[in-house]
Amino acid sequence: MRSGESGVRRRLNRPVWVDLSVVFRQTCYPPARFRWDDRTLDVSREVWGTLHGWYRASTGEWFGLVSYAVAYADVQVERQLTLDDQLVPAEALRPRLYGRERRA
């Protein structure tokens, strides 16, 4: 690949599930005085996303270029933080299947 060229040759638009607990690994437990506010995000579940392409790191790991939305932890509010074109580790992604494959 020459300099100045994009790593993605053809932009994909494949539906995927993004496991937020893998993307945002919890490295330590919340502090004792932790309080939710209106900016607290729920990163403990799977959300739907769109896979746009694949990139390989110099360490050999694969990352998907994904757009997805993260819900706020306050369930009273139906807001989401939209993240476009984010690199996500391959182990956090799985295809969203429909039809016959979904029932299997």
Structural domain contains residue 7: no
The answer to the question of residue 61 being in a domain is yes
Backbone dihedral angles phi then psi of residue 63, each to the nearest 5 degrees: -130, 135
Which residues fall within 8 angstroms of residue 74, CB to CB, at 6 or more apart?
Answer: 36, 38, 40
Instruction: Domain count for the chain, please give it.
Output: 1
pLDDT in tens, 31-89: 666 777 888 888 989 999 999 999 999 999 999 999 999 999 877 667 899 999 999 99
- Tokens 């790593």, residue? 7
Domain that holds residue 47: 14-26+39-99
Residue 8 lies in a domain: no
Question: Which band of pLDDT confidence, cut at 50, 70 and 90, is reported for residue 97?
Answer: confident
- In this predicted structure, what is the pLDDT of residue 104? 40
